[in-house]
Amino acid sequence: MKVERGKRKERVAAILRGRKRLLILLPALAAGICCFCFYQFVAAPVYTSEAQVLVFKMSDNTYLTGNVDPTGTRYLLDDYLDLVTSRTILEQTAAACGLTIEQLNNCSIRATRIPETRVAKISVSSANPKRAETVAAALTEISMEVAIDMWTAENIYILMVEPASAAQDTGPTTLQNVLASALIALLAGVALVLIETAVVLLFARITRKE
């Protein structure tokens, strides 16, 4: 009889533990579903427009070698990338687009070098696709005009490779939303299980001491 009672207690304890795990995992699942709904239906989409500009400096003895000066081009390209995101260029761009500098700052503006090339990529992201495209076009044109005026040497070239593209939706995809939500739910479930286990162990130790 004692053995049977012991087994029954073990089964009841196992059932209770299973119910506790279920009560812990259900809120985690709910959190994952809420995160997915937020990313999928509430979060604003992001649109990006990109332009590409070729920047390079020919070597001083171009008439003999016809080669590009790699060191001079690298420094020149770095200077151009800094120029694109400078305060002066951004203020002129905002004025050309009929925006305040605060409104322009709501856009995500990046100027980066395409690896292994002499091409600068200018990217503008915004929740408004028309604004992203307009700002990218104005920013590219203004930065090129200012750079050409600044660097008047005959062996420096700044050329448009690709004008500002039509804004494309670059926000998270449905698959990315699902994976992010699942990861959040998993982390929440694991955290809750660890907390519940720690509380049970702490309670057991206190009971033993008493």
- Side-chain-side CA neighbours of 204 within 13 Å: the count stands at 6
Is residue 124 helix, strand or coil?
strand
Is residue 182 helix, strand or coil?
helix
| 35 and 98 part of one domain | no
Residue 85's CB: how many other CB atoms inside 10 A?
Answer: 14
| 187 and 126 part of one domain | no
| 78 and 26 part of one domain | no
pTM of the model: 0.61
Domain count, the chain: 2
pLDDT tens, residue by residue, 24-59: 566 666 666 666 665 555 556 789 999 999 988 876
pLDDT tens, residue by residue, 153-194: 667 888 888 888 887 776 655 555 556 666 666 676 667 667
Q: Quick one: average pLDDT of 95-119?
A: 92
Contacts for 200 with CB less than 8 Å, ≥ 6 apart: none
| 21 and 117 part of one domain | no
| 193 and 128 part of one domain | no
For the record, the structure tokens of 68 come out as 């590009």
Q: Tell me the helix, strand and coil percentages in the chain, rounded to 5.
A: 65, 15, 20
Q: Residue 94: what pLDDT?
A: 95
| 144 and 95 part of one domain | yes
Q: Residue 2: what pLDDT?
A: 45
Q: Residue 200: what pLDDT?
A: 65
| 130 and 199 part of one domain | no
Residue 184: name the closest of 39, 18, 46, 43 by CA: 39
The Cα 43–Cα 32 span in angstroms is: 15
* Identity of the amino acid at 71: T
The Cα 79–Cα 75 span in angstroms is: 6
pLDDT tens, residue by residue, 58-89: 765 444 344 666 777 888 889 999 999 999 99
| 177 and 165 part of one domain | no
The lowest-confidence range among 69-78, 97-106, 148-157, 194-203 is 194-203
Structural domain that includes position 15: 2-42+173-209
| 63 and 83 part of one domain | yes
CATH code: domain of residue 130: 3.30.70.1130
The Cα 51–Cα 122 span in angstroms is: 5
Between vectors from CA 53 to CA 48 and to CA 58, what angle results, nearest 5°? 160
| 15 and 27 part of one domain | yes
| 177 and 159 part of one domain | no
Beta partners for 55? 158
121 burial via Cβ count (<10 Å: 0-12, 13-18, 19+): middle
| 14 and 32 part of one domain | yes
Q: Quick one: average pLDDT of 100-119?
A: 91
Q: Between 9 and 140, whose confidence is greater?
A: 140
Q: Between 145 and 6, whose confidence is greater?
A: 145
pLDDT tens, residue by residue, 2-27: 445 445 545 545 544 555 556 556 66
Q: Name the maximum alpha-carbon separation found in the chain.
A: 105
